[in-house]
Amino acid sequence: MIFKSKMSGLLDRAEDPRQTLDYSYEKQVELLRKVKQGVVEVASSRRRLEMQAEKVRSKIPKLDDQARQAMEHGREDLARLALQRKQTALYELEGLEQQVTGVEQEQERLTISEQRLAHKVDTFRNRRESLKAQYTAAEASVKIGEALSGVSEEMADVGLAVERAEHKIESMRARSSAIDQLADSGVLDDVTLSGDSLDRELAELTAGQNVDVELEAMRRQLGSSDAKQLGDSNS
Q: What angle do CA 111, 113, 117 make, to 5 degrees?
A: 120
pLDDT, one tens digit per residue, over 174-229 is: 776 666 666 666 555 554 444 456 666 666 677 667 767 677 777 677 766 655 56
Please report whether residue 155 resides in a domain: no
Determine the residue type at 107: Q
- Asked if residue 142 and residue 46 are part of one domain, the reply reads yes
Q: What is the CATH number of the domain that holds 131?
A: 1.10.287
Please report whether residue 45 resides in a domain: yes
pTM over 0.95: no
Determine the residue type at 185: S
178 or 6, which is more confident: 178
According to DSSP, residue 75 is labeled -
- Asked if residue 208 and residue 128 are part of one domain, the reply reads no
Please report whether residue 209 resides in a domain: yes
- Asked if residue 196 and residue 109 are part of one domain, the reply reads no
Question: Where is the domain boundary, 88, 116, 148?
Answer: 148
- Asked if residue 138 and residue 199 are part of one domain, the reply reads no
Please report whether residue 8 resides in a domain: no
Question: Where is the domain boundary, 148, 163, 179?
Answer: 148
- Asked if residue 199 and residue 117 are part of one domain, the reply reads no
Question: Where is the domain boundary, 93, 119, 148?
Answer: 148
From CA 51, how far away is CA 46, in angstroms rounded?
Answer: 9
Please report whether residue 3 resides in a domain: no
Number of domains in the chain: 2
Please report whether residue 160 resides in a domain: no
Q: Sorting pLDDT into bands at 50, 70 and 90, what band is 6?
A: very low
Task: Give the three-class secondary structure for 1.
Answer: coil
pLDDT, one tens digit per residue, over 111-124 is: 998 999 999 999 98
Q: How far is CA 140 from CA 80, 134, 146, 227, in A?
A: 88, 10, 10, 118
- Asked if residue 34 and residue 109 are part of one domain, the reply reads yes
- Asked if residue 124 and residue 24 are part of one domain, the reply reads yes
pLDDT at 136 over 90: no
Give the other-Cβ count within 10 Å of 103's Cβ.
19
Please report whether residue 218 resides in a domain: yes
- Asked if residue 211 and residue 142 are part of one domain, the reply reads no
- Asked if residue 117 and residue 63 are part of one domain, the reply reads yes
- Asked if residue 137 and residue 33 are part of one domain, the reply reads yes
- Asked if residue 203 and residue 89 are part of one domain, the reply reads no
pLDDT, one tens digit per residue, over 27-85 is: 999 998 999 999 899 999 999 999 999 999 999 999 889 889 988 888 888 889 989 99
Computed on alpha carbons and rounded to an integer, the radius of gyration of the chain in Å comes to 64
pLDDT at 127 over 70: yes
Residues in CB range of 92: below 8 A, 6 or more apart: 56
Mean pLDDT of the chain, nearest integer: 78
Closest alpha carbon to 120 in 18, 32, 23:
32
| Dihedral sign, Cα of residue 157, residue 158, residue 163, residue 165 | positive
Give the other-Cβ count within 10 Å of 44's Cβ.
11
Domain that holds residue 200: 189-223
Give the other-Cβ count within 10 Å of 179's Cβ.
11
46 contacts 103 by C-beta, under 8 angstroms: yes
